[in-house]
Amino acid sequence: MTDETEKALPDRLSLDPRSPWFDSDILQKPVGIRFNGQEKTNVQEYCVSEGWIKVAAGRSRDRFGNPMTITLKGKVEPYREDGEGGEGGGGEGEASEG
């Protein structure tokens, strides 16, 4: 049962420890986000059911020192970046020349 809960990613997840959607157990293994078919590496928070991600807006900070974010709407697909093949291994085999 633990393997099943580890593979199932929540509908909403945040990197901010102060957020109610922060889950340190899930974030111990890397989580990748595919947004409108493109991989995003700067996602701060996502929601699959509402179809949005929050990404950092450059190097801007708010008055508390947290990164300013922009909300983008579209198709959100979270996946595990565990290196076991699966869905997230997009970069494997691309560097080979022959």
Q: Is 17 helix (H, G, I), strand (E, B) or coil?
A: coil
pLDDT digits (tens, 9 = 90+) for 48-89: 999 999 999 999 999 989 889 999 999 999 999 875 544 444
Tell me how far CA of residue 49 lies from CA of 46, 53, 61, 91, in angstroms.
9, 11, 28, 27
Using CA atoms, how far apart are residues 2 and 56, in angstroms rounded to an integer?
A: 32
Q: Where are the domains of the chain?
A: 2-80
pLDDT digits (tens, 9 = 90+) for 4-58: 444 589 999 999 999 999 999 999 999 999 999 999 999 999 999 999 999 999 9
Contact 12, 51 (CB under 8 A): no
